[in-house]
Amino acid sequence: GAVVSQHPSRVICKSGTSVKIECRSLDFQATTMFWYRQFPKQSLMLMATSNEGSKATYEQGVEKDKFLINHASLTLSTLTVTSAHPEDSSFYICSAKVHGLAGYNEQFFGPGTRLTVL
């Protein structure tokens, strides 16, 4: 199946700093990638949809100036958490959409990035 990687897998930063998380599709091109946030013992919450070459679409309640998304190429999307605070500590997961042979879209998820803000 399609492989999606994320870097870094873990990051610890001080409050007020910015953190960049990369999401790469390794063996396919993804025109659409998704960013999710997951708090402990909860399911994934969609933050934004990232489209190559255009602005990301953010879900209601997600601050676009705080969570900057760039999808500059067909294999890379980045999420930058600006001026991070402890409440931003979470597990961030990206996924890439692939149009399957059966005619439906399928998402492949990255391994996630654990962000801890001190």
Binding residues vs another protein (CB under 8 A): 1, 4, 6, 41-44, 46, 91, 93, 95, 97, 100, 102, 104-112, 114
Q: Which residue, 82 or 91, is less far from another protein as judged by CB? A: 91
CB of 18 to another protein, least distance (A): 23
Q: 93 or 117, CB closer to another protein?
A: 93
Segments in 1-118 forming alpha helices (H): none
**Closer residue to another protein (CB): 46 or 76:** 46
Phi, psi of 88 (to 5 degrees): -85, -10
Find the shortest distance in angstroms from Cβ 83 to another protein. 26
- Min dist CB 22 to another protein, Å, is 14
Strand order across the 67-73 sheet: 4-7, 19-25, 76-81, 67-73
- Helices first, then strands: H and E counts in the chain: 0, 11
Q: Which is nearer to another protein, 82 or 114 (CB)?
A: 114
